Structure formats: C-alpha cells, structure tokens
Amino acid sequence: MLNNFRDSLKPHLEKIGTVFASTGLSPNFWTAVGLVLAFASAAVYGLNTHISYAAIIGGILLLVSGFFDIVDGQVARITKKVSKKGGFLDSVFDKVAEVAIFLGILVGNFAEPHMVLLAITLSLLVSYSRSRAESLGVKLQGIGIGERAERLLVIAIIGMIPGLMPYAILIVVIIAGITFVQRIVVTAKNISD
C-alpha cells in the first residue's frame, strides 16, 4: 500500500539517494547495512529480559533498517547500478531480515509463540505469492494492505508502546492474511490459461 505513494515521494527519495550515492559506496553496501541493523533489532528484541526498553530500542533499529532499505534502491537508481543481482540480494536480504525480526520477538517473549509463527508464515506467503505471480507475468507491487513496509512499521511503531507488541503481531496477522487473499484473487483474475 505504501508503494502506491512512491511517485509522490519521488523528489524526496531522489535527494536521499543523491546524498548516499555521493559517498561512493555501492547499493549492495547499503543493503548490507540495512540487514545488519535488522539483525541488531532482532537481537535487542530477543534480549528483552536483559535490556530495559528493548521494544523501543528494537523498534528504532527496525525503523533505521527500513530507511536503509529505501536508500539502497535509490542509490542504485541514482548511480545507474540497478541490476538483477542487486535486486535479488535486496529481496532475499529483506526476507532474512524479516524472519530475524520475528525470531527476536519470539525469543524475547513479546507475544504468544503461535501468533508470531502465524505472522511470519503469512508474511512469507505474501512475499511468495508476489514472487510467483510475477514469474507468471502478473505485477503485484502495491497490491494489498499489508506489504512488507506496512508490516514492519506496525511492529516498530505499535510494538514500541509498552505492552502492545501482542496487538502489533495480531495486526500483522490480519493485514498479511488479507493481503495474501487479495494477491491470490488479483493473480487468478489476471492469469490467462
């Protein structure tokens, strides 16, 4: 859903890309920075019983990780280094990061294990349905109310409020489930036998 606002944000995103491109560092470097920050967020969530304000620190790290998920693509566009390899790495690292975040939440005992498992399962199914549909020629970017950005924003922002992480996970389950169904419907309508 947030992907639908990219065009209106394009001038601002290009400025961000220009600033980070001026460092001379590759888009893949920024992808790796985002992944490292996601791992840091997951570790903080996982150490909930040992770190005060783990949900707040984990949420902030998750938001910064998401920022670098924007940076890498913008740097690739600005430097004209958009590549299939970079796109593949970005996509795979996004999934690794997402699984790590949910694992941290699970280990940190922020929500019921079965709800965390359901959230990650539906999240991965949302991503898989897009990947599979696009291999059949059906574009699904922007289809659904719970794409990756929305899911991670819910966890980071709502999860930062003390005691609300279980509700953040529940919201992720709901929006990921709806998005999965939306993508199945759209794909089924657009596949020609």
Residues annotated catalytic, as ranges:
94
pLDDT digits (tens, 9 = 90+) for 16-51: 989 999 999 999 999 999 999 999 999 999 998 888
Cα-based angle 62, 63, 68 (whole degrees, multiple of 5): 95
Distances (CA, A) of 7 to 94, 138, 148: 22, 21, 18
The reply to whether 7 sits in an annotated binding site is no
Domains in the chain: ranges and CATH: 1-110 (1.20.120.1760), 111-192 (1.20.120.1760)
Length of the chain: 193
For CA atoms 52, 54, 55, 60, the dihedral sign is positive
Model pLDDT for residues 52-106, shown as the tens digit of each residue:
899 999 999 999 999 999 999 899 999 988 888 988 999 999 999 999 999 999 9
> What is the reported pTM?
0.90
- 193 annotated ligand-binding residue: no
What are the tokens at 83? 């590549």
User: Is 94 assigned to a binding site?
Assistant: yes
DSSP state of 2: G
Locus of tokens 């899911």: 151
Residue 90 is labelled as binding a ligand: yes
